Amino acid sequence: MSLEIGVFDGLLLAGVVLSAVVAVLVPRRTSAVAVFLVFGLLLALLWARLDAPDIALAEAVLGGGVTGALLVDALASKQAEVPRRRSWALATGIIAGIIAFLGMGWVVSRLSEPSGQLPLLVDDHIGGSGAEHPVTAVLLNFRSFDTLLEIAVVMTAVFAATAVSDRSWTRTLSASGELRIIAVVLLPVVSLLAVWMLVAGTTRPGGAFQAGAMVGAGLVIAHLTGTRRTSTRGPWGDALIVLGLVVFILLAFSTAVGGAGWLVLGESWASTAILAVEAVLAVSIGVGLARIFLANRREPGEAR
């Protein structure tokens, strides 16, 4: 994709910066969330324009979908009164911001030409890595330790969200007829998309995280439309959330003890290992994200 500027690019970047400014400055919560959702959508377009289709997918489904759902649900609480900042604090903040922007601009202007070393390294080793898509190979083979730590962070966040919640989130909801129709139509599509993205991640944009977010979305839709046993609470939910990290650690130990080193995947079984780990990660992340949403969900009009 050519990176020369067209009218679309100028409009897109102007829209991104404008929606960022408005999302931060507008005083009402509901407006801030609405403009932030627009910001997320424009960011997804920008990532696609910057040759990052994986990230565009992930931004659309995680930034717009999951974060959007979380923010909109948080709007159900009343907005508290906050004291106004004093003017000297505002002035200091704005001046500091301008200095920081100029500093970052100076650093960015001194970036050297891309040496291309990392992409060359990836290209050299991608043959036996078990995945044909470079981002998947980097995430699950070359830098799999980072992904292991990421799963640990997500798991910790899920249990933190569980700890903060009260006990009212396990009731099976009763849903009207229209909601059930929505579920019947949406759930097969969501499941198909989740499995497709998981399997497609080996050869094209996709992978465990996008699939995991679809699994999470599917669980939330199922619970909100009255399906039984989809609240992710209880020992089954805990087990599925922990499973991703446990499987990853088992893989690390088995490669350290019986293989060529920590998380070194042998060429013959690398693709199987990657697909298996991705499947488990997708389930874990899906259940985890669903639980983060459902554990702290508020019925409209409920008081805390």
Q: Kindly tell me which residue out of 41, 129, 130, 137 binds other proteins, with binding defined by CB under 8 A.
A: 137
Whether 281 contacts 151, CB under 8 Å: yes
Nearer Cβ to other proteins (248/293): 293
Confirm or reject binding of residue 263 to other proteins (CB under 8 A). no
Q: How far apart are CA 245 and CA 147, in angstroms?
A: 10
Nearer Cβ to other proteins (13/187): 13
Q: How far apart are CA 251 and CA 263, in angstroms?
A: 7
Give the number of residues in contact with other proteins, rule: CB under 8 A: 96
Q: How far apart are CA 104 and CA 139, in angstroms?
A: 28
Q: Kindly tell me which residue out of 38, 70, 187, 199 binds other proteins, with binding defined by CB under 8 A.
A: 70
Whether 193 contacts 221, CB under 8 Å: no
Q: Kindly tell me which residue out of 41, 130, 161, 263 binds other proteins, with binding defined by CB under 8 A.
A: 161
> Which residue is associated with the tokens 């009255």?
226
Name the residue type at position 20.
A
Beta-carbon contacts of residue 130 (< 8 Å; ≥ 6 apart): 137, 140, 141, 202, 265, 267, 269, 270, 271, 272, 273, 274
Give the other-Cβ count within 10 Å of 72's Cβ.
Answer: 13
Confirm or reject binding of residue 90 to other proteins (CB under 8 A). yes
Q: 183, 185, 164: which is closest to 174 by C-alpha?
A: 183
Looking at residues 3 to 62 of the shown chain, list those that interact with other proteins (rule: CB under 8 A).
3-5, 9-10, 13, 16-17, 20-21, 23-25, 29, 32-33, 36, 39-40, 43, 46-47, 49-52, 54-55, 58-59, 62
Nearer Cβ to other proteins (3/257): 3
Confirm or reject binding of residue 164 to other proteins (CB under 8 A). yes
Q: Kindly tell me which residue out of 138, 197, 265, 274 binds other proteins, with binding defined by CB under 8 A.
A: 138
Looking at residues 102 to 131 of the shown chain, list those that interact with other proteins (rule: CB under 8 A).
104-105, 108, 111, 114, 116, 118-119, 122
Nearer Cβ to other proteins (63/237): 63
Looking at residues 211 to 230 of the shown chain, list those that interact with other proteins (rule: CB under 8 A).
212-213
